[in-house]
Amino acid sequence: MRRMRQYSTATLLVRGGTVVGPEGLVEADVLAQGERIKAIGRGLPALHDTRVVNAEGCYVLPGVIDSHTHVGLDTGRFRTQDDWFVGTRAAACGGVTTVIDFATQSPGRTLAEAVEARRTEAEDAVIDYGFHVMVTDLPPHREDEIADLADLGAPSVKLYTTYRPNYFVGDAAILQLMETSARHGVLPLIHCENDDLVASRVDSLTRSGQTSWRYHGRSRPPLAEQEAINRVLFLAEAAGCPVHICHCSTARSVSLVGDAVERGQRVTCETCPQYLLLDNRLYEGPEPWRYVLQPPLRDAEEKVGLWKLLQAGFVDLVSTDHCDYTVTQKLAQDDFRKTPGGLPGIETLLPLMLTYGDLGGGTSLCHIVRLLCAAPARLWGIWPTKGTLQPGSDADIVVYDPAVESEIRADELHHAAGYTPFEGMSVRGAVRATISRGEIIYHQGRFSGRRGRGRFLVRQPL
Ligand SMILES: [Zn+2]
């Protein structure tokens, strides 16, 4: 069923832009030959059949890697309305050239079966993709399955400390999975919220009849997240296992990770644009349904704290946790317990981070390229194929025009949801072109990527 690889020696020249690397800015052209970058330098010549992309006045960045997405998600209870074509088309239009999504192991199935099934689902992808493997049940005697993850090209396991009974994994199983993962170069990434603290808060809100959307933020308190992170870090230390903490929504979450790093642990963390740019006052507003997600939006001062820690280098990467539930699905019932959790965000990631990641001059751009490109590529085992502009790397390139001023509008985005949590926010600049392995898949408002051209990425273990 897998498509044949198509090799081409066509050349493409991104001319006259400012190339943004993790360490600095340089005025340079980028020449791609076939699927890879051939050269970076000033005044590179175009041959008669070279396709030229004009990047004058624009920034030229590596393609963005969104390493936490849920394209075509089926939780058993809810199903997002996108598929792999729709989801990765939205990504391409937003300058994202790689996603790392999830292959869910359902009870009774092996991890290899989960990866195989998800690869089939993803065959229509427009951009390249990899998977973290979501483990739901893994008896200790199946250690060999963790060992096999490297061979499957998916050397990371996603665990949840919440969502009883479906995805919840107890402490003993987490510890055992960490010990096993450490032996096989597999990196666990963990959704941290204390399930008991969440359940007791939901119970008390239910008893007092406060289950409408506007109470969602109160149902999952910051302490639940922080306690679970603290516990997971403690278990990781005991297991001698590196660990990645997903979607930190409070400043203390990031600080806990920073403290562990200071103690010598190998720990990384991410946050998402929604936690940097939105806050829980929106639950008091007219459309609280837009912001039902886990963890929920927090107090406004958390945004300030998260930006400070991000600027100081304590946040390793920024991802979206993209979930493409529609307005209809969100509006079905004014009850946070019965509303699918998760927000669409893949297409707005880059413009939002470039606009609001105002760290000052060139540093800001370089830092954002580290957060969105270099860091996820290194952490998830696809560096230097992805995440960098250098000869030999995949020619995944974004041309970003900083001169365009606009507002985010759902009807101009390419996902299925029909809304965006960032509606009406001003953004500075826009993606002019997205190039994936030397092929233009988006240019000046026109998407031209072919269904199924994306490839499964075999990622390297730690
Ligand atoms: Zn997620």
Q: Which CATH number fits domain 63-379: 3.40.50.970, 1.10.10.10, 3.40.50.300, 3.20.20.140?
A: 3.20.20.140
Average pLDDT estimate for 217-229? 98
User: What pLDDT sits at residue 24?
Assistant: 87
Domain range summary for the chain, segments of one domain joined by +: 63-379
Rounded distance, CA 179 to CA 183, Å? Answer: 7
Cα 33 to ligand 1 centre (Å): 36
pLDDT for 6 equals: 47
Cα(68) to centroid(ligand 1), Å: 6
What spacing in Å lies between the alpha carbon of 292 and ligand 1's midpoint?
13
Ligand 1: centre distance to CA 40 (Å): 36
Give phi and psi for 404, each to the nearest 5.
-80, 130
pTM score of the predicted model: 0.96
State in Å: Cα 209 to ligand 1 middle.
28
How much of the chain exceeds pLDDT 90, in percent? 90
**Ligand 1 centroid to 287 CA: how many Å?**
22
**CA 188 to ligand 1 center in whole angstroms:** 14
Cα(392) to centroid(ligand 1), Å: 32
Q: Tell whether the model's pLDDT for residue 21 goes beyond 90.
A: no
pLDDT confidence of residue 360: 55
Ligand 1 center from residue 191 Cα (angstroms): 8
Q: Determine which helix (DSSP H) or strand (DSSP E) holds 182, and give its type and residue range.
A: helix 171-184
CA of 130 to the centre of ligand 1 (A): 15
pLDDT surpassing 90 at residue 47? no
Residue 254 dihedral angles phi and psi, to the nearest 5°: -70, -40
Nearest in space to 343 (alpha carbons), one of 328, 326, 355, 357: 326
- Indicate the pairing of strand 59-62 with strand 11-20: parallel
- CA of residue 46 to ligand 1 center, whole Å: 43
Mean pLDDT, residues 409-420: 97
pLDDT 10s digits, 54-112: 999 999 999 999 999 999 999 989 999 999 999 999 999 999 999 999 999 988 899 99
What DSSP letter does each residue of 287-344 carry, written as one string? -GGGG--SS----HHHHHHHHHHHHTT---EE---EE---HHHHHS-S-GGGS---B-
CA of 99 to the centre of ligand 1 (A): 13
CA of 69 to the centre of ligand 1 (A): 6
Question: What separation in angstroms does the CA of 97 have from each of 93, 101, 356, 410?
Answer: 9, 13, 21, 21
134 alpha carbon – ligand 1 mean position (Å)? 10
Residue 27 contacts residue 21 (beta carbons within 8 Å): no
Segment 35-56 mean pLDDT: 95
Distance 135 CA to ligand 1 centre (A): 13
